[in-house]
Each structure stands twice: as structure tokens, then as C-alpha cells.
């Protein structure tokens, strides 16, 4: 099932324009691409977050598909209920099997923090849905607070920068690997600049026989402090510095999808955004070094897992 | 309020301040040593402010992965001896209910700030409500005592936050500060005392470790809770427990524990519960209100007084324990009571229960996320009883 842009351009977007996401936000770019790859009929669920708030300001909606928001923590459980209901009714012969697909779009707060146990439970039970994490590395909807997806050294409103503390002190958690450890059929990391890679992954994910998960980096101009026209540039820079590698785990097999040449230093990434400006001073050089070491360590581990030459 | 003259003996500094920041400043003044919370509108400013202020004092700010974890961490920090608090709004307050029950039953001092927004569920995150009044009283399972305070101005948000910490230590109980979106996000002139305010610390037992029991009524109605790590070894559990803290199924021991648990708060309503009366001396109609709704009520009362109508205001500063005697007095002295609140009649039920038909009780209610207006309250003055 190749990605055919010409054919896709004739299809209707399943999320309509006129939503209230910020200029330069990558969320609807990714939602459009994923839903084109998944296709109709599809049911979408979103937890509390930027996408939920900005795609459904009363009395409007941008969703051209059945859509449900429940609360912050429970999109996986809500979708699990819908998916199970559908499977059960089909099995009982009460409704026709139309091949309905189920997709969750959730932020990193809802995925990494408050909703992690719900997601873990749902994929352990094997519900057949695609869960897309729109990861902008913070609670941007409530005012740029840190999340456990926020990288070490980052300024946020609750990991403030002062004379002593240089922003967030903890490394982010690797949720993609945590989900992969559940041994579900399909797990991937993607980014909006690599649109063909992202859409191919969405196709593979929705075709998988069981739960699937794609973690997509979402450059956020408000929270990361960069000009809104640079969203896609930053997306590519994240892959080129290896702070956001593109890979997939298919039935337990790790596969690298993109190898930058040359691999750019993390300082390029830090210089591109206001949230890291405090790190560009001599006193915080050690933080930059620690970040580079962490990126290198994780990159080496990923190459090992992917059995790629180091 | 706010009219007391500045004197050299008690210097004060006038500032323009937001309600959420006044709560955060109040917590600092009370000696806050630990704050854990999760992002939520309209309480975010408290955490954002404290994430900067606490580390500068060597105190602790932690952003947790959700509100369940937030209150659990607060309970842990309090057992460790720190004054601990969390702040949230309706959806997060719902998630905290299990731990509120734990803190009440295990008798852990802590302060829970709930900036109410319109609900249920996600509701209207940026709009005010007072729909959590009964949840603050009864949200967790099982009978339990609770103290709930409700500020009516930014100045009072500061003062009541300090008072909340004091009460939590004095009565070894969770205390809920029930603010609302309007109160928390409006900016108002405040006068913060520059001198040290009265702050109560953790009570300490006079007995040595080998004689100490954390629930021993021989140590008083409120046995001191010694922080972990100070040589006093004891057991904490949410199971019904005897004086040592160990689980018990013995009804006589459970009875002793419950008598003390409820008695320490419900037996001291007069000492704990605060109300404020304005123009009540000759009032024939009383408006009962609390929080930001009391401001609409005060305005309605003034408009009515301009028309020479005998209308007074009774503002509830403490919602729980409920001040039955104050309401009884009012119900015996006026013809009509108007209860104005941003919910569908939660305190109204309490007023009706206490009034027992002695006065005509009328509710002025809305739960749509908009404030009760003075005009709405004025209209209720016209209703024939």
C-alpha cells in the first residue's frame, strides 16, 4: 500500500481547517497525515490537551469523524471500551463488520504521565487500536509546564531557570521503549518533516493485528520559543541531532528508519529554541555536555537494538 | 475588610495581587515545606509561583504525574514532618478523593486547595463554580470529619490559607481551601503583614518513644503526630486502627477511635467555624453566601439598603463543619433567607435542614459557569414568601 500523494490530494481531510491550534503547530499536520493513511471508517478519541481544546471550541468541531473526549487520563480505556463493544457486536452478528478503525491522538502529558497506566493496561489486554502520541514535550495547553517527556535542561514554567537550577533536572522517560516492552505488534517513533515515513508507519500500525503505538515529535512554537515558520525545520533538526531518532519495532524487531549524515551536535538543537537559551552560557556548559552524552548513549543503544553498525 | 489603618506597630505592605498568588504567598507564610501538584486550569499560577519560590527557601516543589500521586506525596511529606499542600481544580479534586479519606482517617495534617471551576467532568475550565461544596464534605467514601474554608477576597485568600495550615496542625486533619475561578484569578489590593503572622507548628508529645501511641486519647483529643525518623516507631494504615495504629476489628476500640475522630472537629464547631455578618441587626431578609458569590450578595444588600429594605448578609467563611447555631439564630430572627451559590443548591439544603421552616428559605442558583449577579439576588427579594 504505497503512499500516493496525487490520490490522497483528492480525498477529503478527516480533520477540517478552522481549528484554533496555534500558527505553526504540527499537531493537525500529523493528524491529517495519519488519518489519510488510516482512511475511513475511523473512530477518533482524544484526551484533554491542546488538540482536544483547539479542535472543538464550542459550538464548532474540526472532526469529520465520530470523535470522543472523556478526561485527561483515560483515552486508552475509553477507546478500549468502544473497540470491545464493536468487536462483540460484530461477533454476535448484531452489526455488520465495516472494518472500523480506532485511533487515539493524545499529548505527552496524557501519555507519559497521567494516562500511562491506562495505556499500559489497554495494550496488555490487546485492544486493536492505534495510539498516536503528539509529543510536544510539555503541558502546553495549561501554560508550558514540564512533563516527563521534557528533556533535561529545559525551561518550562514549573522547571524554571535560576541562578542555581538550570531548568529541568531529570532526563525524560523513554515511553516508546516502554510501550515496545509490552511486545505489541507495532511501535514507532516519527516526526512531521518525514511525512512519507510517518504515513507509512500509520498504515503499518493500523494494519497490525493488535495494539499499535506511534510517538510523534510535535515542535511547539509557543512552548519551545521559536518562529512559527520553522516547525518543519526543527522537526528535521531533531532527527539530525538524534534527539528524536526515527525507528520502528515490528513484532519485536527494532529497525532504524533514518540515519543522519553527518550526525549534528546537540548544540545545534539547543541554539534553535528559546527554551534552551540559558544553556548557551559558560556556567551551563556541563548541562550541554551531559545532554550530548545522554543523546549519544541512547543513540548507541538504539543502533545496538536495531543491529545497525555503530 | 481592608479598612484597618496602617500603624507603625503592625506595618503592612499594600500590593496588587492575584487570588492564586495570594494563596501561594499565604502557604509560604504558613511555613509550607512541600508542595506537589499536577497542571490544571484555573489553579496553575499557584504551582508556577511555588516552583520558583520553594527551592529558594530550601523547600520542595514537585510536579507529579497526576493528582492521585500529588496528594499521596503530600501525605508522605507530612508524615515526614513538613507542612505540605497541593492545589487543583474539580477534575483533579475528584481524583484526590481516596487520599482525602486516608488523610482524614489516618489523621495526617495537610492542605488541599481546590480552585472550583464549572463541572462536572471537564465542564468550563476557565469559568467559576461552587459545585464542589458537597464533594469537599462527602466526596470520599465513608463517614469522616473535614474542615473546609472559603475565601471571599484576595486578602482573605492569603489569610485563610495560613489559617488552613494552622487548623490542619491543630486538629491533625486535612483542610480544604475551597476557592473559585473568579476569586483565584482576579487581581485585588491586598495588605500583607510584614511582621510574623501566627503560625502553628506540629504538636510534639511529652512522652518518650516507648510510651507513645499515635492515636492515644490519653494524649488528648488530638494526639501529636511525631514525624517519621525521630525515634518514635509506629504504624500508619487506612484500616480501622487502635491507639497504636495497628488494625483492629474490636468494636470497642473502633468506637473509641471514632468518638475521638469525629469529636475533635464536630464537637468544636464554635471554635472552628467562622461566619461574618453585615447589616444583620435589623434584617428581615438575610442573604447567605460564600466565596466570590458573597461579593454579589454584598452588592445586592447595599442596593436593597438604598431602597430602605432591611436586608443583611451572612457570609460563610467556614463551610464545613457547618455552623448550625449561626444559621439557627438567623432563621429565628428573619422572615426570609436567600441562599445564593454557584451550584444547584448545595448549602441551600443545609440551611433548610437547620431552619426547619422557621424562615422562608429561597435559593438563588446557577451552575452554568457564570457568576450569580446582584440582579438575580435582588429578584429573589421580591418573591412572596
* Mean pLDDT of all residues in A77-106: 98
* Mean pLDDT of all residues in A55-64: 94
Domains of chain B plus CATH, in order, are 6-199 (3.40.50.970), 209-269 (no CATH), 276-382 (3.40.50.920)
* Mean pLDDT of all residues in B178-206: 91
Cβ separation A148–B51 shorter than 8 A: no
* Mean pLDDT of all residues in B378-384: 84
Task: Pick the closest to residue A141 from A107, A173, A112, A175 (CA basis).
Answer: A107
* Mean pLDDT of all residues in B23-31: 97
Residue in chain B nearest A159 by alpha carbon: B51
* Predicted local confidence at residue B77, as pLDDT: 98
Instruction: Inform me whether the C-beta atom of residue B258 falls under 8 Å from chain A C-beta atoms.
Output: no
* Predicted local confidence at residue A4, as pLDDT: 87
* Mean pLDDT of all residues in A216-225: 98
Cβ separation A164–B122 shorter than 8 A: no
Pairs of CB atoms within 8 A across A/B: 51
* Predicted local confidence at residue A2, as pLDDT: 81
List, as one string, the DSSP characters of A126-165.
T---EEEEEE-SSBTTTTSB--TTSPTT--BTTB-B-SS-
- pLDDT exceeds cutoff 70 at A158: yes
Q: Which of A107, A157, A161 to mutate to test the interface with B (most CBs of B within 10 A)?
A: A157
Cβ separation A69–B122 shorter than 8 A: yes
* Predicted local confidence at residue B11, as pLDDT: 60
Rounded Cα distance, B241 and B106, in Å: 9
Chain A CB contacts of B44 below 8 Å: 142-143, 145, 157
Instruction: Inform me whether the C-beta atom of residue A169 falls under 8 Å from chain B C-beta atoms.
Output: no
- pLDDT exceeds cutoff 80 at B82: yes
* Mean pLDDT of all residues in A212-234: 98
Q: What is the pLDDT of residues B300-354, one digit of tens each?
A: 999 999 999 999 999 999 999 999 999 999 999 999 999 999 999 999 999 999 9
* Mean pLDDT computed over every residue of chain A: 97
Instruction: Provide the percentage of residues in chain B whose pLDDT is more than 70.
Output: 96
* Predicted local confidence at residue B40, as pLDDT: 98
Cβ separation B66–A160 shorter than 8 A: no
Helices (H), B181-227: 181-185
* Predicted local confidence at residue B385, as pLDDT: 45
Q: Which of A47, A50, A68, A114 to mutate to test the interface with B (most CBs of B within 10 A)?
A: A114
> Strands, E, within chain B: which ranges?
12-18, 34-37, 60-63, 84-88, 110-118, 124-128, 147-149, 174-180, 187-193, 275-278, 285-289, 311-316, 318-320, 336-341, 360-365
Instruction: Provide the percentage of residues in chain A whose pLDDT is more than 90.
Output: 95
Distance from CA of A161 to the nearest CA of B (A): 8
Q: A8 falls in which pLDDT band (50, 70, 90)? A: confident
- pLDDT exceeds cutoff 60 at B133: yes
- pLDDT exceeds cutoff 70 at A292: yes
Rounded Cα distance, B207 and A85, in Å: 61
| Cβ under 8 Å to A: B residues 30-59 | 38-41, 44, 47-48, 51-52, 55-56
Q: What is the pLDDT of residues A119-131, one digit of tens each?
A: 999 999 999 999 9
Please check whether residue A37 is in contact with residue A7, taking contact to mean a CB–CB distance below 8 angstroms.
no
* Predicted local confidence at residue A1, as pLDDT: 67
Q: B4 falls in which pLDDT band (50, 70, 90)? A: very low
* Mean pLDDT of all residues in B267-283: 97
Cβ separation A114–B61 shorter than 8 A: no
Q: What is the pLDDT of residues B141-176, one digit of tens each?
A: 999 999 999 999 999 999 999 999 999 999 999 999
* Predicted local confidence at residue B10, as pLDDT: 54
Instruction: Inform me whether the C-beta atom of residue A139 falls under 8 Å from chain B C-beta atoms.
Output: yes
Cβ neighbours for B198, distance < 8 A, ≥ 6 positions apart: B162, B166
- pLDDT exceeds cutoff 70 at B7: no
Distance from CA of A81 to the nearest CA of B (A): 19
Q: Which of A118, A158, A163 to mutate to test the interface with B (most CBs of B within 10 A)?
A: A158
Residue in chain B nearest A143 by alpha carbon: B44
Which residue has better confidence, B182 or A310?
B182
Chain A CB contacts of B65 below 8 Å: 112-114, 116, 148
Q: A185 falls in which pLDDT band (50, 70, 90)? A: very high
Instruction: Inform me whether the C-beta atom of residue A2 falls under 8 Å from chain B C-beta atoms.
Output: no
Chain B CB contacts of A142 below 8 Å: 39-41, 44
Cβ atoms within 10 Å of B262's Cβ, excluding its own:
14
Maximum C-alpha span of chain B: 69
- pLDDT exceeds cutoff 70 at A78: yes
- Locate B10 and state its grid cell: 503592625
* Predicted local confidence at residue B6, as pLDDT: 42
Beta bridge partners of B312: B286
Amino acid at each position: 500500500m504505497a503512499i500516493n500523494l496525487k490520490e490522497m490530494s483528492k480525498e477529503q481531510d478527516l480533520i477540517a481547517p478552522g481549528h484554533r491550534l496555534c500558527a505553526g503547530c504540527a499537531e493537525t499536520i500529523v493528524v491529517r497525515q495519519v488519518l489519510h493513511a488510516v482512511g475511513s471508517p475511523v473512530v477518533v478519541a482524544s484526551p484533554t490537551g491542546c488538540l482536544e481544546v483547539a479542535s472543538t471550541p464550542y459550538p464548532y468541531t474540526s472532526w469529520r469523524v465520530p470523535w470522543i473526549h472523556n478526561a485527561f487520563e483515560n483515552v486508552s480505556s475509553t477507546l478500549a471500551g468502544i473497540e470491545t463493544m464493536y468487536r462483540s457486536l460484530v461477533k454476535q452478528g448484531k452489526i455488520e463488520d465495516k472494518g472500523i478503525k480506532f485511533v487515539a491522538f493524545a499529548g505527552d502529558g496524557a501519555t507519559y504521565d497521567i494516562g500511562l497506566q491506562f495505556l499500559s493496561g489497554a495494550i496488555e489486554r490487546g485492544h486493536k487500536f492505534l495510539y498516536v502520541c503528539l509529543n510536544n514535550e510539555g503541558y502546553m495547553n495549561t501554560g508550558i509546564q514540564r512533563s516527563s517527556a521534557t528533556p533535561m535542561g529545559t525551561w518550562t514554567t514549573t522547571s524554571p531557570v535560576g541562578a542555581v537550577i538550570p531548568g529541568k533536572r531529570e532526563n525524560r522517560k523513554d515511553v516508546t521503549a516502554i510501550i515496545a516492552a509490552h511486545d505489541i505488534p507495532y511501535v514507532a517513533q516519527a516526526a512531521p518533516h518525514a511525512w512519507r515515513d510517518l504515513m507509512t508507519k500509520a498504515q503499518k500500525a493500523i494494519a497490525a493485528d493488535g495494539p499499535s503505538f506511534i510517538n510523534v515529535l510535535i515542535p511547539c512554537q509557543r512552548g519551545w520559543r521559536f518562529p512559527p515558520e520553522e516547525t518543519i525545520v526543527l522537526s528535521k533538526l531533531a532527527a539530525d541531532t538524534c534527539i528524536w531518532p526515527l525507528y520502528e519495532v515490528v513484532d519485536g524487531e527494532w529497525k532504524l528508519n533514518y540515519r543522519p549524515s553527518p550526525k549534528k551536535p546537540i548544540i545545534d538543537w539547543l541554539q534553535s529554541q528559546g527554551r534552551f537559551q540559558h544553556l548557551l552560557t559558560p556556567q551551563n556548559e556541563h548541562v550541554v555536555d551531559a545532554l550530548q552524552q545522554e543523546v549519544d548513549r541512547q543513540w548507541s543503544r538504539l543502533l545496538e537494538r536495531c543491529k545497525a553498525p555503530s | 475588610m481592608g479598612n484597618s489603618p496602617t500603624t507603625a506597630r503592625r506595618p503592612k505592605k499594600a500590593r496588587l495581587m492575584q487570588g492564586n498568588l495570594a494563596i501561594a504567598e499565604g502557604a509560604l507564610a504558613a511555613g509550607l515545606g512541600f508542595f506537589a501538584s499536577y497542571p490544571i486550569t484555573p489553579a496553575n499560577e499557584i504551582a508556577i509561583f511555588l516552583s520558583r519560590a520553594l527551592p529558594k527557601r530550601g523547600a520542595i516543589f514537585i510536579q507529579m504525574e497526576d493528582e492521585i500521586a500529588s496528594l499521596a506525596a503530600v501525605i508522605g511529606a507530612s508524615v515526614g514532618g513538613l507542612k505540605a499542600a497541593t492545589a487543583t481544580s474539580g477534575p483533579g479534586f475528584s481524583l484526590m478523593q481516596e487520599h482525602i479519606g486516608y488523610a482524614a482517617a489516618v489523621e495526617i495534617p495537610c492542605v488541599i486547595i481546590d480552585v472550583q471551576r464549572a463541572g462536572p467532568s471537564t465542564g468550563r475550565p476557565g469559568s467559576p463554580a461552587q459545585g464542589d461544596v458537597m464533594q469537599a464534605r462527602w466526596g470520599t467514601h465513608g463517614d469522616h470529619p473535614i474542615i473546609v474554608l472559603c475565601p471571599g477576597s484576595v486578602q482573605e485568600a492569603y489569610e485563610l490559607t495560613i489559617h488552613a495550615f494552622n487548623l490542619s496542625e491543630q486538629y491533625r486533619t486535612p483542610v480544604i481551601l475551597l476557592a473559585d475561578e473568579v476569586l483565584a484569578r482576579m487581581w485585588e489590593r491586598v495588605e500583607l503583614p510584614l511582621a510574623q503572622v501566627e503560625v502553628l507548628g506540629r504538636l510534639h508529645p511529652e512522652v518518650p518513644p516507648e510510651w507513645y501511641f499515635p492515636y492515644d486519647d490519653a494524649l488528648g483529643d488530638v494526639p501529636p503526630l511525631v514525624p517519621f525518623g525521630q525515634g518514635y516507631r509506629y504504624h500508619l494504615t487506612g484500616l480501622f486502627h487502635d491507639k497504636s495504629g495497628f488494625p483492629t476489628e474490636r468494636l470497642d476500640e473502633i468506637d473509641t477511635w471514632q468518638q475521638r475522630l469525629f469529636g475533635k472537629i464536630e464537637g468544636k464547631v464554635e471554635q472552628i467555624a467562622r461566619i461574618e455578618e453585615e447589616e444583620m441587626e435589623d434584617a428581615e431578609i438575610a442573604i447567605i453566601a460564600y466565596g466570590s458569590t458573597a461579593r454579589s450578595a454584598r452588592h445586592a444588600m447595599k442596593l436593597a439598603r438604598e431602597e430602605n429594605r432591611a436586608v443583611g448578609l451572612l457570609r460563610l467563611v467556614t463551610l464545613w463543619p457547618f455552623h448550625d447555631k449561626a444559621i439557627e439564630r438567623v432563621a429565628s430572627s428573619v422572615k426570609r433567607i436567600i441562599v445564593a451559590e454557584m451550584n444547584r443548591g448545595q448549602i441551600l439544603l443545609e440551611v433548610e435542614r437547620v431552619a426547619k421552616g422557621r424562615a422562608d428559605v429561597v435559593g438563588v442558583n446557577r451552575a452554568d459557569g457564570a457568576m450569580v449577579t446582584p440582579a438575580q439576588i435582588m429578584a429573589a427579594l421580591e418573591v412572596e414568601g
